[in-house]
Amino acid sequence: MASVDSTGSSVSSRLRSGDLLHAGLAVALLLGVWNVGGLEVSTDKVPSIEAMNGSTVLLPCTYSSCIGIKNLYFNWHYNDNGTMIKLCEAVIPIEGVEPKVSVYHERVEFVGTSKKNNISILLWNITFEDEGQYICFARNPKEKNRNHSAIYTLIVVDQMKEVDNTLTTIIVSVLGGVIGLVIIIMVIKALVVHFLLKDDEKNKECLVSSSGNDNTENGLSGAKADNKGTPKA
């Protein structure tokens, strides 16, 4: 009986471990799907911009969600040496409905549209004090209040740096020279082949004419010999 009990307990433990494994896999799959389809916000491909003092800059931000949005909340903050200053905020009720944006900065303008999942802002007449990090934040209640944020860095300069195109100019010049040299070589090769073909044709014509003349002379000499060898009647 003891052996039967031990066998039964081992079988039941295996079944439990199998159930736990299946449950773990199911949870992992669900989490994976949730993460793939979760809310994401992103700034430009380049997470920073260099702009001149006194100009107007676009601070880009877009959001995406595979399962859609409902009452999506978003805001923009400026990181002022650790102090977060709110620039604007709004709620997008559903997809395609434009939000009523509350703006808290006199030089900030909301230029986004929910039709393109765009929540970008403009910053007018920037100064050196505006330099720093700008945070775009969004939260989607439809995904159990999942939230995400992205940072965009503004660098303010007195004048724009001139781009040094020396290396590009050198590369283009070298490539142009190589291409020109190849073209010249091809033209010379074509001319040489053309003249060689002409010489071959002339040589063939000379050979044909000379062989014709030889045959004519041989025919005439043979006729003369026949005339001399014929006896008089």
For the chain, domains (ranges, CATH) are: 37-155 (2.60.40.10)
pLDDT score of 21: 45
Per residue in 106-162, pLDDT (tens digit) is 999 999 999 999 999 999 999 999 999 999 999 999 999 999 999 999 999 997 665
Residue 76 has pLDDT above 70, yes or no: yes
* Percentage of residues in the chain having pLDDT higher than 90: 52
Output the 3-class SS for the chain: CHHHHHHHHHHHHHHHHHHHHHHHHHHHHHHHHHHHCCCEEECCCCCEEEEECCCCEEECCEEECCCCCCCEEEEEEEEECCEEEEEEEEEECCCCCCCCCEECCCCEEECCEHHHCECCEEECCCCHHHCEEEEEEEEEHHHCCEEEEEEEEEEEECCCCCCCCHHHHHHHHHHHHHHHHHHHHHHHHHHHHHHHHHHHHHHHHHHHHHHHHHHHHHHHHHHHHHHHHCCCC
pLDDT score of 87: 98
Residue 163 has pLDDT above 80, yes or no: no
pLDDT score of 15: 41
Mean pLDDT of the region 84-106: 97
Residue 72 has pLDDT above 70, yes or no: yes
Residue 6 has pLDDT above 60, yes or no: no
pLDDT score of 171: 86
pTM of the model: 0.57
User: Between residues 183 and 1, which one has the greater pLDDT?
Assistant: 183
Mean pLDDT of the region 70-93: 97
pLDDT score of 33: 42
Most confident of 7-11, 51-55, 179-183: 51-55
* pLDDT bracket for residue 45 (50, 70, 90): confident
pLDDT score of 186: 85
pLDDT score of 3: 46
pLDDT score of 167: 72
* Percentage of residues in the chain having pLDDT higher than 70: 67
Per residue in 165-201, pLDDT (tens digit) is 677 778 888 888 889 888 999 889 888 887 777 766 6
pLDDT score of 176: 84
Residue 90 has pLDDT above 90, yes or no: yes
